[in-house]
Structure 1
Amino acid sequence: MNHKLVLLCLFGLNFQLSSPIYACTLWGVAGNTSLDGTLIAKNRDWTPNHQQSLRLQTPRIGYRYLGLFADDGHFKGLKAGVNTQGLVVLSASASSLPRSIREADRERHGVMAQILQNSASLDDVTAHADDLFSKAKPVFLLLADRYGLMQVEVGQHGKYRLQRIDQGTVAHTNHYLDESVLDQPQHVGMSSAIRLARINALLAEHDTPWQRDDFTLISRDKNAGPDNSLWRLGKAHTLASWQMALPLQGPARLHLILANPNQPEQLVDLTLDSKFWRQMDGVLAPK
Protein backbone atom coordinates (compact mmCIF):
# COMPACT_ATOMS: atom_id res chain seq x y z
CA MET A 1 0.00 0.00 0.00
CA ASN A 2 1.48 3.39 -0.93
CA HIS A 3 1.89 6.26 1.53
CA LYS A 4 -1.19 8.11 0.28
CA LEU A 5 -3.50 5.14 0.85
CA VAL A 6 -2.02 4.57 4.30
CA LEU A 7 -2.81 8.19 5.08
CA LEU A 8 -6.40 7.79 3.90
CA CYS A 9 -6.90 4.70 6.04
CA LEU A 10 -5.63 6.58 9.08
CA PHE A 11 -8.26 9.24 8.57
CA GLY A 12 -11.06 6.66 8.56
CA LEU A 13 -13.36 8.95 6.59
CA ASN A 14 -15.76 8.54 3.68
CA PHE A 15 -13.51 9.41 0.73
CA GLN A 16 -14.21 10.27 -2.85
CA LEU A 17 -11.17 9.42 -4.92
CA SER A 18 -11.75 12.14 -7.48
CA SER A 19 -10.33 15.34 -6.00
CA PRO A 20 -12.61 18.38 -6.29
CA ILE A 21 -10.76 21.22 -7.98
CA TYR A 22 -12.50 23.81 -5.83
CA ALA A 23 -10.04 23.76 -3.00
CA CYS A 24 -7.93 25.89 -0.69
CA THR A 25 -5.70 25.43 2.34
CA LEU A 26 -6.04 27.72 5.38
CA TRP A 27 -3.71 27.85 8.37
CA GLY A 28 -2.65 30.12 11.22
CA VAL A 29 -0.64 30.57 14.41
CA ALA A 30 -1.63 32.57 17.49
CA GLY A 31 0.02 33.37 20.80
CA ASN A 32 3.48 33.82 22.19
CA THR A 33 5.22 31.25 19.95
CA SER A 34 5.15 33.84 17.14
CA LEU A 35 7.58 36.74 16.83
CA ASP A 36 5.23 38.50 14.39
CA GLY A 37 1.96 38.31 16.31
CA THR A 38 -1.01 36.43 14.91
CA LEU A 39 -0.16 34.79 11.57
CA ILE A 40 -2.77 33.69 9.03
CA ALA A 41 -2.52 32.31 5.47
CA LYS A 42 -4.47 30.91 2.56
CA ASN A 43 -3.31 29.08 -0.54
CA ARG A 44 -6.04 29.67 -3.11
CA ASP A 45 -6.43 26.71 -5.51
CA TRP A 46 -8.77 26.88 -8.48
CA THR A 47 -9.05 26.13 -12.17
CA PRO A 48 -6.53 28.39 -13.97
CA ASN A 49 -9.16 29.95 -16.23
CA HIS A 50 -9.57 33.44 -14.78
CA GLN A 51 -7.71 36.45 -13.45
CA GLN A 52 -7.43 37.90 -9.95
CA SER A 53 -6.73 41.36 -8.58
CA LEU A 54 -5.99 43.03 -5.26
CA ARG A 55 -8.37 45.92 -4.63
CA LEU A 56 -9.15 48.58 -2.06
CA GLN A 57 -12.89 48.91 -1.46
CA THR A 58 -15.00 51.49 0.35
CA PRO A 59 -18.51 50.20 1.07
CA ARG A 60 -21.42 52.60 1.35
CA ILE A 61 -21.60 51.83 5.09
CA GLY A 62 -18.87 50.28 7.23
CA TYR A 63 -15.12 49.75 7.24
CA ARG A 64 -12.92 49.95 4.18
CA TYR A 65 -11.13 46.76 3.24
CA LEU A 66 -8.43 45.32 1.01
CA GLY A 67 -9.48 42.20 -0.86
CA LEU A 68 -8.27 39.53 -3.22
CA PHE A 69 -10.91 39.14 -5.94
CA ALA A 70 -11.56 36.66 -8.73
CA ASP A 71 -12.39 39.06 -11.57
CA ASP A 72 -13.98 36.68 -14.06
CA GLY A 73 -14.87 33.02 -14.49
CA HIS A 74 -17.84 31.20 -12.95
CA PHE A 75 -17.13 32.10 -9.31
CA LYS A 76 -16.24 35.79 -9.26
CA GLY A 77 -15.89 37.78 -6.06
CA LEU A 78 -14.02 38.22 -2.80
CA LYS A 79 -11.69 35.39 -1.73
CA ALA A 80 -9.61 36.96 1.08
CA GLY A 81 -9.62 40.30 2.84
CA VAL A 82 -8.52 42.56 5.68
CA ASN A 83 -10.22 45.73 6.91
CA THR A 84 -8.97 48.98 8.41
CA GLN A 85 -9.38 47.54 11.91
CA GLY A 86 -6.97 44.68 11.20
CA LEU A 87 -9.62 41.93 10.97
CA VAL A 88 -8.74 39.27 8.38
CA VAL A 89 -11.21 36.86 6.74
CA LEU A 90 -10.17 33.94 4.50
CA SER A 91 -12.45 31.33 2.93
CA ALA A 92 -12.27 27.76 1.64
CA SER A 93 -14.92 25.91 -0.34
CA ALA A 94 -16.97 23.24 1.44
CA SER A 95 -16.44 20.93 -1.52
CA SER A 96 -17.04 17.76 0.51
CA LEU A 97 -20.71 18.62 -0.10
CA PRO A 98 -22.08 18.47 -3.65
CA ARG A 99 -22.48 21.84 -5.32
CA SER A 100 -26.22 21.18 -5.64
CA ILE A 101 -26.44 21.04 -1.82
CA ARG A 102 -24.22 24.09 -1.28
CA GLU A 103 -26.30 26.18 -3.69
CA ALA A 104 -29.71 24.69 -2.89
CA ASP A 105 -31.02 27.45 -0.63
CA ARG A 106 -31.07 30.67 -2.64
CA GLU A 107 -31.76 32.73 0.47
CA ARG A 108 -28.35 31.86 1.87
CA HIS A 109 -25.39 34.01 0.91
CA GLY A 110 -21.69 34.65 1.37
CA VAL A 111 -20.59 36.56 4.47
CA MET A 112 -17.00 37.69 3.90
CA ALA A 113 -17.76 41.25 2.77
CA GLN A 114 -20.40 41.59 5.48
CA ILE A 115 -17.87 40.63 8.16
CA LEU A 116 -15.19 42.98 6.82
CA GLN A 117 -17.59 45.91 6.58
CA ASN A 118 -19.21 45.51 9.99
CA SER A 119 -16.74 43.82 12.37
CA ALA A 120 -13.67 45.31 14.03
CA SER A 121 -12.52 42.20 15.89
CA LEU A 122 -13.12 38.52 16.56
CA ASP A 123 -15.19 39.59 19.57
CA ASP A 124 -17.50 41.49 17.22
CA VAL A 125 -17.88 38.42 15.00
CA THR A 126 -18.61 36.22 18.01
CA ALA A 127 -21.23 38.66 19.30
CA HIS A 128 -23.07 38.63 15.95
CA ALA A 129 -22.36 35.01 14.98
CA ASP A 130 -26.01 33.95 14.79
CA ASP A 131 -26.94 36.81 12.47
CA LEU A 132 -23.92 36.12 10.27
CA PHE A 133 -23.61 32.37 10.01
CA SER A 134 -27.14 31.03 10.42
CA LYS A 135 -27.97 32.65 7.06
CA ALA A 136 -24.74 31.76 5.27
CA LYS A 137 -24.03 29.18 2.57
CA PRO A 138 -21.86 26.18 3.54
CA VAL A 139 -18.28 27.42 3.73
CA PHE A 140 -15.13 27.27 5.83
CA LEU A 141 -13.66 30.51 7.18
CA LEU A 142 -10.47 31.37 9.04
CA LEU A 143 -10.46 34.79 10.71
CA ALA A 144 -7.81 36.67 12.66
CA ASP A 145 -7.14 39.82 14.62
CA ARG A 146 -4.05 40.79 16.57
CA TYR A 147 -5.23 38.76 19.57
CA GLY A 148 -5.95 35.40 17.95
CA LEU A 149 -7.74 33.26 15.38
CA MET A 150 -11.22 31.93 14.77
CA GLN A 151 -12.19 28.93 12.66
CA VAL A 152 -15.76 28.73 11.37
CA GLU A 153 -17.49 25.75 9.74
CA VAL A 154 -20.85 26.71 8.25
CA GLY A 155 -22.93 23.62 7.53
CA GLN A 156 -26.48 23.01 6.41
CA HIS A 157 -29.72 24.75 7.38
CA GLY A 158 -28.19 27.42 9.58
CA LYS A 159 -25.91 25.17 11.62
CA TYR A 160 -22.36 26.36 12.29
CA ARG A 161 -19.40 25.83 14.60
CA LEU A 162 -16.93 28.43 15.93
CA GLN A 163 -13.52 27.71 17.42
CA ARG A 164 -11.41 30.48 18.98
CA ILE A 165 -7.63 29.95 19.10
CA ASP A 166 -5.66 32.27 21.38
CA GLN A 167 -2.60 30.03 21.57
CA GLY A 168 -1.34 27.45 19.08
CA THR A 169 -1.96 26.45 15.48
CA VAL A 170 -5.00 25.72 13.33
CA ALA A 171 -5.53 24.44 9.77
CA HIS A 172 -8.39 23.62 7.44
CA THR A 173 -8.85 22.34 3.90
CA ASN A 174 -12.15 21.41 2.20
CA HIS A 175 -13.99 18.95 4.42
CA TYR A 176 -15.83 19.28 7.72
CA LEU A 177 -14.00 18.48 10.94
CA ASP A 178 -17.30 18.58 12.86
CA GLU A 179 -20.02 16.68 11.00
CA SER A 180 -22.67 17.67 13.55
CA VAL A 181 -23.34 20.76 11.39
CA LEU A 182 -24.41 18.49 8.49
CA ASP A 183 -27.65 16.67 7.74
CA GLN A 184 -25.99 14.04 5.54
CA PRO A 185 -22.60 12.32 5.18
CA GLN A 186 -19.90 14.29 3.46
CA HIS A 187 -17.57 12.85 0.80
CA VAL A 188 -14.00 13.81 1.66
CA GLY A 189 -11.75 14.39 -1.33
CA MET A 190 -8.34 12.72 -1.36
CA SER A 191 -6.61 16.04 -1.94
CA SER A 192 -8.38 17.66 1.01
CA ALA A 193 -7.37 14.84 3.35
CA ILE A 194 -3.74 14.74 2.19
CA ARG A 195 -3.34 18.52 2.34
CA LEU A 196 -4.82 18.69 5.84
CA ALA A 197 -2.47 15.98 7.10
CA ARG A 198 0.51 17.72 5.48
CA ILE A 199 -0.21 21.21 6.78
CA ASN A 200 -0.82 19.86 10.29
CA ALA A 201 2.44 17.92 10.15
CA LEU A 202 4.39 20.99 9.03
CA LEU A 203 2.84 23.08 11.78
CA ALA A 204 3.58 20.43 14.42
CA GLU A 205 7.18 19.91 13.29
CA HIS A 206 8.10 23.59 13.54
CA ASP A 207 10.26 24.01 16.66
CA THR A 208 11.43 27.64 16.58
CA PRO A 209 9.46 30.86 17.13
CA TRP A 210 7.19 31.52 14.17
CA GLN A 211 7.76 34.36 11.72
CA ARG A 212 5.71 35.38 8.70
CA ASP A 213 8.47 34.16 6.34
CA ASP A 214 7.93 30.63 7.66
CA PHE A 215 4.47 30.69 6.09
CA THR A 216 5.96 31.47 2.69
CA LEU A 217 8.07 28.31 2.88
CA ILE A 218 5.04 26.26 3.91
CA SER A 219 2.93 27.69 1.10
CA ARG A 220 5.39 26.41 -1.54
CA ASP A 221 5.36 22.81 -0.29
CA LYS A 222 5.04 20.28 -3.16
CA ASN A 223 5.42 17.12 -1.08
CA ALA A 224 2.46 15.20 -2.54
CA GLY A 225 2.60 15.90 -6.25
CA PRO A 226 0.64 18.23 -8.55
CA ASP A 227 -2.89 17.47 -7.32
CA ASN A 228 -2.44 16.90 -3.59
CA SER A 229 0.31 19.29 -2.46
CA LEU A 230 -0.12 22.60 -0.68
CA TRP A 231 1.20 24.34 -3.81
CA ARG A 232 -0.77 22.73 -6.65
CA LEU A 233 -0.07 22.54 -10.38
CA GLY A 234 -2.43 19.77 -11.44
CA LYS A 235 -6.20 19.85 -12.13
CA ALA A 236 -6.23 22.97 -9.98
CA HIS A 237 -3.44 25.50 -9.69
CA THR A 238 -2.44 27.52 -6.68
CA LEU A 239 -3.35 30.94 -8.02
CA ALA A 240 -2.52 32.98 -4.92
CA SER A 241 -1.05 32.73 -1.45
CA TRP A 242 -2.26 35.35 1.04
CA GLN A 243 -0.06 35.58 4.15
CA MET A 244 -0.49 38.12 6.95
CA ALA A 245 1.22 39.11 10.20
CA LEU A 246 -0.85 40.96 12.81
CA PRO A 247 1.51 42.15 15.57
CA LEU A 248 0.22 43.36 18.93
CA GLN A 249 1.89 46.70 18.25
CA GLY A 250 2.22 48.27 14.82
CA PRO A 251 0.43 47.81 11.51
CA ALA A 252 -0.55 44.57 9.85
CA ARG A 253 1.63 43.29 7.01
CA LEU A 254 0.54 41.42 3.90
CA HIS A 255 2.68 39.19 1.69
CA LEU A 256 0.75 38.09 -1.41
CA ILE A 257 1.97 35.69 -4.07
CA LEU A 258 -0.21 36.30 -7.12
CA ALA A 259 0.07 33.57 -9.77
CA ASN A 260 -2.45 34.60 -12.42
CA PRO A 261 -2.60 32.21 -15.39
CA ASN A 262 -0.33 33.08 -18.34
CA GLN A 263 1.37 35.89 -16.40
CA PRO A 264 4.65 36.15 -14.51
CA GLU A 265 4.22 35.49 -10.81
CA GLN A 266 3.90 38.69 -8.82
CA LEU A 267 4.97 39.30 -5.20
CA VAL A 268 3.17 42.03 -3.28
CA ASP A 269 4.39 43.24 0.14
CA LEU A 270 2.32 45.87 1.93
CA THR A 271 2.42 47.52 5.34
CA LEU A 272 -1.16 48.42 6.20
CA ASP A 273 -0.49 51.62 8.14
CA SER A 274 -2.51 54.85 8.15
CA LYS A 275 -0.74 56.06 5.01
CA PHE A 276 -1.77 52.91 3.17
CA TRP A 277 -5.43 53.31 4.09
CA ARG A 278 -5.47 56.92 2.84
CA GLN A 279 -5.11 55.68 -0.75
CA MET A 280 -7.95 55.94 -3.22
CA ASP A 281 -10.03 52.86 -4.00
CA GLY A 282 -8.93 50.73 -6.92
CA VAL A 283 -6.76 47.88 -8.14
CA LEU A 284 -3.38 47.60 -6.42
CA ALA A 285 -2.14 44.50 -8.23
CA PRO A 286 -2.83 44.11 -11.95
CA LYS A 287 -5.37 41.73 -13.44
Structure 2
Amino acid sequence: MRKMNGIWMICLTFIMLAATVLPVQACTSWMASGDSVAGGGTLVVKNRDWMPGDITSLKLMKSNRDLSYFVLFGNLEGSANHGGINEAGLVLLELSTPPNTPRGEVPPLAKSFDADWILGHYRTTDEVILALTKNEWQTQPVFLIVADQNKVAYIEVGTSGRVAVKEMVNGAMIHANEYQEASMQDLNPKLQPGVDNSLALYERKRLLKAREQIESKSIFTLADMKRFAQDPVVWYEQREMRTYASFIVQHRSNGQEPLIWVRLTNPNEGVKEAQFTLSEAMSGKALELLH
Protein backbone atom coordinates (compact mmCIF):
# COMPACT_ATOMS: atom_id res chain seq x y z
CA MET A 1 0.00 0.00 0.00
CA ARG A 2 1.37 3.43 -0.90
CA LYS A 3 2.59 5.75 1.80
CA MET A 4 0.51 8.88 2.17
CA ASN A 5 2.24 12.21 1.93
CA GLY A 6 2.40 14.53 4.93
CA ILE A 7 -0.44 16.82 3.89
CA TRP A 8 -2.83 13.93 3.30
CA MET A 9 -1.91 12.41 6.67
CA ILE A 10 -2.67 15.69 8.43
CA CYS A 11 -6.04 16.02 6.66
CA LEU A 12 -6.99 12.43 7.38
CA THR A 13 -6.03 12.80 11.02
CA PHE A 14 -8.31 15.85 11.30
CA ILE A 15 -11.22 13.97 9.72
CA MET A 16 -10.75 11.02 12.05
CA LEU A 17 -10.57 13.23 15.14
CA ALA A 18 -13.67 15.14 14.05
CA ALA A 19 -15.51 11.86 13.54
CA THR A 20 -14.91 10.92 17.17
CA VAL A 21 -16.67 13.98 18.57
CA LEU A 22 -19.41 14.95 16.15
CA PRO A 23 -22.92 13.60 16.82
CA VAL A 24 -23.78 11.73 13.64
CA GLN A 25 -27.10 10.32 12.54
CA ALA A 26 -27.85 10.81 8.90
CA CYS A 27 -28.76 9.46 5.46
CA THR A 28 -31.05 6.89 3.83
CA SER A 29 -30.26 4.45 1.03
CA TRP A 30 -32.35 2.29 -1.32
CA MET A 31 -30.82 -0.51 -3.44
CA ALA A 32 -32.16 -2.84 -6.15
CA SER A 33 -30.45 -5.31 -8.46
CA GLY A 34 -31.00 -7.85 -11.21
CA ASP A 35 -34.60 -9.08 -11.48
CA SER A 36 -35.78 -6.25 -9.24
CA VAL A 37 -34.68 -3.53 -11.70
CA ALA A 38 -36.73 -2.84 -14.84
CA GLY A 39 -34.47 -3.96 -17.67
CA GLY A 40 -31.88 -5.42 -15.26
CA GLY A 41 -28.73 -3.88 -13.84
CA THR A 42 -28.67 -2.06 -10.49
CA LEU A 43 -30.15 1.03 -8.86
CA VAL A 44 -28.69 2.67 -5.79
CA VAL A 45 -29.75 5.84 -3.97
CA LYS A 46 -28.45 7.99 -1.14
CA ASN A 47 -30.29 10.84 0.55
CA ARG A 48 -27.73 12.94 2.39
CA ASP A 49 -28.93 14.37 5.71
CA TRP A 50 -26.86 16.45 8.09
CA MET A 51 -27.02 19.14 10.72
CA PRO A 52 -28.38 22.60 9.75
CA GLY A 53 -25.79 24.97 8.34
CA ASP A 54 -24.03 22.50 6.07
CA ILE A 55 -23.56 22.85 2.32
CA THR A 56 -23.45 19.83 -0.01
CA SER A 57 -21.41 20.20 -3.18
CA LEU A 58 -20.24 17.90 -5.97
CA LYS A 59 -16.58 17.41 -6.78
CA LEU A 60 -14.67 15.65 -9.53
CA MET A 61 -11.52 14.16 -8.06
CA LYS A 62 -9.05 13.60 -10.90
CA SER A 63 -6.09 11.27 -10.55
CA ASN A 64 -3.13 10.52 -12.80
CA ARG A 65 -2.23 7.35 -10.89
CA ASP A 66 -5.47 5.85 -9.59
CA LEU A 67 -9.16 5.99 -10.49
CA SER A 68 -10.90 9.35 -10.74
CA TYR A 69 -14.24 9.77 -8.99
CA PHE A 70 -17.27 12.07 -8.77
CA VAL A 71 -18.60 12.59 -5.26
CA LEU A 72 -20.80 14.41 -2.77
CA PHE A 73 -18.88 16.68 -0.40
CA GLY A 74 -20.13 18.07 2.90
CA ASN A 75 -18.57 21.26 4.19
CA LEU A 76 -19.62 21.51 7.84
CA GLU A 77 -16.66 21.07 10.21
CA GLY A 78 -14.29 20.66 7.26
CA SER A 79 -14.83 19.14 3.82
CA ALA A 80 -15.39 15.41 3.62
CA ASN A 81 -16.18 12.94 0.84
CA HIS A 82 -19.53 11.23 1.54
CA GLY A 83 -19.49 8.93 -1.47
CA GLY A 84 -20.13 8.82 -5.20
CA ILE A 85 -19.03 6.90 -8.29
CA ASN A 86 -15.63 6.30 -9.88
CA GLU A 87 -14.66 6.08 -13.55
CA ALA A 88 -14.95 2.27 -13.46
CA GLY A 89 -18.59 2.58 -12.38
CA LEU A 90 -18.10 1.52 -8.76
CA VAL A 91 -20.53 3.27 -6.41
CA LEU A 92 -19.53 3.83 -2.78
CA LEU A 93 -21.87 5.78 -0.47
CA GLU A 94 -21.37 6.49 3.24
CA LEU A 95 -24.13 6.48 5.85
CA SER A 96 -23.61 7.39 9.48
CA THR A 97 -23.99 4.93 12.32
CA PRO A 98 -26.31 5.76 15.24
CA PRO A 99 -25.29 8.67 17.46
CA ASN A 100 -22.76 7.83 20.14
CA THR A 101 -21.80 4.50 18.56
CA PRO A 102 -18.79 3.31 20.58
CA ARG A 103 -15.65 3.91 18.55
CA GLY A 104 -13.58 1.16 20.15
CA GLU A 105 -10.01 0.60 19.08
CA VAL A 106 -8.94 3.00 16.32
CA PRO A 107 -7.66 1.18 13.21
CA PRO A 108 -4.05 1.93 12.21
CA LEU A 109 -3.91 5.29 10.42
CA ALA A 110 -2.23 3.77 7.35
CA LYS A 111 -5.27 1.53 6.79
CA SER A 112 -8.07 4.00 7.51
CA PHE A 113 -8.84 5.13 3.99
CA ASP A 114 -12.65 4.70 3.66
CA ALA A 115 -14.41 6.52 0.79
CA ASP A 116 -11.43 8.14 -0.94
CA TRP A 117 -9.33 4.99 -0.76
CA ILE A 118 -12.12 2.68 -1.99
CA LEU A 119 -13.21 4.87 -4.90
CA GLY A 120 -9.62 5.47 -5.93
CA HIS A 121 -8.54 1.83 -5.92
CA TYR A 122 -11.37 -0.64 -6.65
CA ARG A 123 -13.54 -1.36 -9.68
CA THR A 124 -16.21 -3.77 -8.46
CA THR A 125 -18.24 -4.63 -5.38
CA ASP A 126 -16.47 -7.97 -5.13
CA GLU A 127 -13.06 -6.25 -5.11
CA VAL A 128 -14.10 -3.99 -2.24
CA ILE A 129 -15.41 -6.87 -0.14
CA LEU A 130 -12.41 -9.10 -0.89
CA ALA A 131 -10.02 -6.28 0.06
CA LEU A 132 -11.94 -5.82 3.31
CA THR A 133 -11.55 -9.50 4.20
CA LYS A 134 -7.81 -9.18 3.54
CA ASN A 135 -7.56 -6.10 5.79
CA GLU A 136 -6.41 -3.93 2.88
CA TRP A 137 -8.66 -1.19 4.23
CA GLN A 138 -10.32 -0.46 7.56
CA THR A 139 -12.38 2.36 8.95
CA GLN A 140 -14.16 3.59 12.04
CA PRO A 141 -17.85 2.61 12.53
CA VAL A 142 -19.78 3.48 9.37
CA PHE A 143 -22.30 2.02 6.92
CA LEU A 144 -21.05 1.69 3.35
CA ILE A 145 -23.30 1.11 0.33
CA VAL A 146 -21.45 -0.49 -2.58
CA ALA A 147 -22.71 -1.20 -6.10
CA ASP A 148 -21.61 -2.00 -9.64
CA GLN A 149 -23.52 -3.19 -12.71
CA ASN A 150 -24.09 -6.68 -11.28
CA LYS A 151 -24.41 -6.44 -7.52
CA VAL A 152 -25.38 -4.20 -4.60
CA ALA A 153 -24.20 -4.63 -1.01
CA TYR A 154 -24.02 -2.90 2.30
CA ILE A 155 -21.14 -3.15 4.74
CA GLU A 156 -21.77 -2.48 8.42
CA VAL A 157 -18.60 -1.56 10.31
CA GLY A 158 -18.88 -1.59 14.07
CA THR A 159 -16.74 -1.11 17.12
CA SER A 160 -13.17 -2.42 17.08
CA GLY A 161 -13.37 -3.68 13.52
CA ARG A 162 -16.57 -5.74 13.78
CA VAL A 163 -18.00 -6.13 10.28
CA ALA A 164 -21.11 -7.57 8.62
CA VAL A 165 -21.80 -7.66 4.87
CA LYS A 166 -25.00 -8.27 2.93
CA GLU A 167 -24.70 -8.78 -0.84
CA MET A 168 -27.52 -9.02 -3.40
CA VAL A 169 -27.61 -9.80 -7.13
CA ASN A 170 -31.41 -10.14 -7.39
CA GLY A 171 -33.62 -8.22 -5.01
CA ALA A 172 -34.04 -4.94 -3.17
CA MET A 173 -33.13 -3.59 0.27
CA ILE A 174 -32.68 -0.39 2.24
CA HIS A 175 -30.34 0.98 4.86
CA ALA A 176 -30.46 4.00 7.10
CA ASN A 177 -28.92 4.65 10.49
CA GLU A 178 -29.46 1.46 12.43
CA TYR A 179 -27.40 -1.71 12.29
CA GLN A 180 -29.50 -4.18 10.30
CA GLU A 181 -27.57 -7.45 10.61
CA ALA A 182 -28.36 -9.63 13.64
CA SER A 183 -24.69 -9.87 14.61
CA MET A 184 -24.46 -6.07 14.86
CA GLN A 185 -27.79 -5.01 16.36
CA ASP A 186 -26.43 -4.83 19.91
CA LEU A 187 -24.67 -1.63 18.75
CA ASN A 188 -27.99 0.16 18.21
CA PRO A 189 -28.65 2.59 21.10
CA LYS A 190 -31.71 2.33 23.30
CA LEU A 191 -33.97 5.31 23.90
CA GLN A 192 -32.98 7.03 27.13
CA PRO A 193 -35.74 7.93 29.64
CA GLY A 194 -35.82 11.59 30.54
CA VAL A 195 -33.94 12.58 27.34
CA ASP A 196 -35.35 14.31 24.26
CA ASN A 197 -35.57 11.38 21.85
CA SER A 198 -37.60 13.21 19.20
CA LEU A 199 -34.94 12.98 16.49
CA ALA A 200 -34.29 9.29 17.17
CA LEU A 201 -38.02 8.59 16.96
CA TYR A 202 -38.29 10.51 13.70
CA GLU A 203 -35.34 8.64 12.24
CA ARG A 204 -37.04 5.37 13.14
CA LYS A 205 -40.11 6.62 11.28
CA ARG A 206 -37.89 7.45 8.29
CA LEU A 207 -36.35 3.97 8.33
CA LEU A 208 -39.77 2.32 8.44
CA LYS A 209 -40.99 4.50 5.57
CA ALA A 210 -38.02 3.51 3.40
CA ARG A 211 -38.67 -0.16 4.22
CA GLU A 212 -42.34 0.27 3.31
CA GLN A 213 -41.35 1.85 -0.01
CA ILE A 214 -38.95 -0.94 -0.98
CA GLU A 215 -41.55 -3.55 -0.06
CA SER A 216 -44.27 -1.85 -2.11
CA LYS A 217 -43.06 -3.18 -5.47
CA SER A 218 -41.11 -6.08 -6.92
CA ILE A 219 -39.55 -4.23 -9.87
CA PHE A 220 -38.13 -0.71 -9.69
CA THR A 221 -37.33 2.07 -12.15
CA LEU A 222 -35.23 5.21 -11.85
CA ALA A 223 -38.49 7.18 -11.56
CA ASP A 224 -39.54 5.03 -8.59
CA MET A 225 -36.29 5.76 -6.79
CA LYS A 226 -36.61 9.50 -7.43
CA ARG A 227 -40.11 9.38 -5.95
CA PHE A 228 -38.98 7.39 -2.92
CA ALA A 229 -36.11 9.78 -2.23
CA GLN A 230 -38.35 12.86 -2.34
CA ASP A 231 -41.13 11.55 -0.12
CA PRO A 232 -41.54 14.12 2.69
CA VAL A 233 -40.95 11.50 5.39
CA VAL A 234 -37.45 10.74 4.10
CA TRP A 235 -36.68 14.14 2.52
CA TYR A 236 -37.19 16.11 5.68
CA GLU A 237 -36.22 19.05 7.84
CA GLN A 238 -36.07 18.75 11.61
CA ARG A 239 -34.58 21.15 14.13
CA GLU A 240 -31.41 19.04 14.48
CA MET A 241 -31.21 17.49 11.02
CA ARG A 242 -32.28 18.08 7.41
CA THR A 243 -31.90 16.57 3.92
CA TYR A 244 -29.47 18.26 1.54
CA ALA A 245 -29.11 15.96 -1.47
CA SER A 246 -30.19 12.87 -3.39
CA PHE A 247 -27.64 10.91 -5.41
CA ILE A 248 -28.92 8.10 -7.65
CA VAL A 249 -26.96 5.78 -9.95
CA GLN A 250 -28.55 3.40 -12.43
CA HIS A 251 -26.34 0.73 -13.99
CA ARG A 252 -28.06 -0.44 -17.14
CA SER A 253 -27.72 -4.00 -18.43
CA ASN A 254 -27.98 -3.11 -22.14
CA GLY A 255 -24.39 -1.95 -22.48
CA GLN A 256 -25.22 1.74 -22.06
CA GLU A 257 -23.15 3.66 -19.55
CA PRO A 258 -24.52 4.40 -16.06
CA LEU A 259 -26.98 7.22 -15.49
CA ILE A 260 -26.62 9.55 -12.52
CA TRP A 261 -29.31 11.83 -11.09
CA VAL A 262 -28.58 14.46 -8.44
CA ARG A 263 -30.82 16.82 -6.49
CA LEU A 264 -29.34 19.51 -4.23
CA THR A 265 -31.23 21.81 -1.84
CA ASN A 266 -28.64 23.87 -0.01
CA PRO A 267 -29.74 26.65 2.36
CA ASN A 268 -30.42 29.98 0.64
CA GLU A 269 -30.08 28.41 -2.81
CA GLY A 270 -32.63 27.26 -5.35
CA VAL A 271 -33.20 23.56 -5.94
CA LYS A 272 -30.68 22.13 -8.40
CA GLU A 273 -31.39 18.94 -10.34
CA ALA A 274 -29.57 17.24 -13.20
CA GLN A 275 -29.39 13.85 -14.90
CA PHE A 276 -26.25 12.84 -16.77
CA THR A 277 -24.07 9.91 -17.79
CA LEU A 278 -20.91 8.66 -16.14
CA SER A 279 -18.77 10.09 -18.93
CA GLU A 280 -20.41 13.50 -18.44
CA ALA A 281 -19.55 13.26 -14.73
CA MET A 282 -15.94 12.36 -15.48
CA SER A 283 -15.54 15.14 -18.09
CA GLY A 284 -16.82 17.86 -15.75
CA LYS A 285 -19.94 18.55 -17.81
CA ALA A 286 -22.17 17.43 -14.93
CA LEU A 287 -20.79 20.20 -12.74
CA GLU A 288 -21.81 22.74 -15.39
CA LEU A 289 -25.35 21.30 -15.47
CA LEU A 290 -25.69 21.82 -11.71
CA HIS A 291 -24.54 25.45 -11.63
TM-score by length of 2: 0.79
Is 2:203 the partner of 1:199?
A: no
Residue 210 of structure 1: how far off its partner (Å): 1.5
Match of 1:58 in 2: 62
Aligned CA distance change for structure 1 residues 179 and 81 (closer, same or farther; 3 Å): same
SS of the residue corresponding to residue 27 of structure 2 reads strand
Task: Tell me the amino acid that sits aligned with residue 91 of structure 1.
Answer: E
Find the aligned partners of 2:248 and 2:204 in 1 and give their Cα distance.
22
Aligned pairs for 1:252-271 within 5 A? 252-271=258-277
The whole-number CA distance in structure 1 between the counterparts of 2:183 and 2:106 is: 19
Deviates more, 1:101-110 or 1:164-173: 101-110
Native 8 Å contact 1:96 1:176 kept in 2: no
Tell me the amino acid that sits aligned with residue 32 of structure 1.
Answer: D
SS of 1:136 mapped into structure 2: coil
After superposition, residues 1-287 of structure 1 pair within 5 angstroms as 22-35=25-38, 37-59=41-63, 61-70=65-74, 72-74=75-77, 76-98=79-101, 101-102=102-103, 105=106, 107=108, 109-131=112-134, 135-178=138-181, 180-181=183-184, 186-187=189-190, 189-207=200-218, 209-222=219-232, 229-235=233-239, 236-248=241-253, 249-273=255-279, 277=282, 279=283, 284=288
State the Cα RMSD in Å. 2.7
CA shift for structure 1 position 21: 6.5
Aligned partners of 2:211 and 2:123: how far apart in 1? 29
Whole-angstrom CA distance in 2 between matches of 1:74 and 1:197: 30
Distance change (3 Å), C-alpha of 1:239 and 1:132: farther
Secondary structure in structure 1 of the residue aligned to 2:274:
strand
Query: Aligned to 2:215, what secondary structure does the other structure show?
Result: helix
Change (3 A) 1:54 1:198: same
Q: 1:48 to 1:284 in 2, by over 3 A?
A: farther
**Percentage of pairs with the same residue:** 25
Cα pair distance change 1:198/1:182, threshold 3 Å: closer
Aligned to 1:7: none
Could you say what secondary structure the match of 1:201 adopts? Answer: helix
Q: Aligned to 2:43, what secondary structure does the other structure show?
A: strand
CA contact (8 A) 1:51 1:261 kept: yes
CA change 1:213–1:44 in 2 (3 A) is same
Give me the whole-angstrom Cα distance separating, in 2, the residues matched to 1:282 and 1:168: 30
Deviations 1:238-258 (A, max 9, x none): 100111101122101111001
Tell me, in whole angstroms, the C-alpha distance in 2 between the residues paired with 1:164 and 1:39: 14
> Offset at 1:106?
7.1
Bigger proportion of residues as strand: 1
TM-score, with normalisation over the residues of structure 1?
Answer: 0.80
Count of aligned pairs between the two proteins: 256
The alpha-carbon distance between structure 1 residues 165 and 106, as it changes in their structure 2 partners (threshold 3 A), is closer
1:170 CA drift (Å) = 1.1
Q: Find the residue that maps to 2:211 and give its secondary structure.
A: helix
Superposition misfits of 4+ residues, deviation over 4 angstroms:
131-134, 181-185, 280-287
Structure 1: runs of 5 or more not aligned: 1-19, 223-228
Q: Distance in 2 between matches of 1:128 and 1:21?
A: 26
Larger helix proportion of the pair:
2
- Structure 2 Cα separation of the partners of residues 267 and 217 of structure 1: 14
User: Contact conserved, 1:156 with 1:183, CA < 8 A, in 2?
Assistant: no
Residue ranges of structure 2 left out of the alignment (5+ in a row): 1-22, 192-199
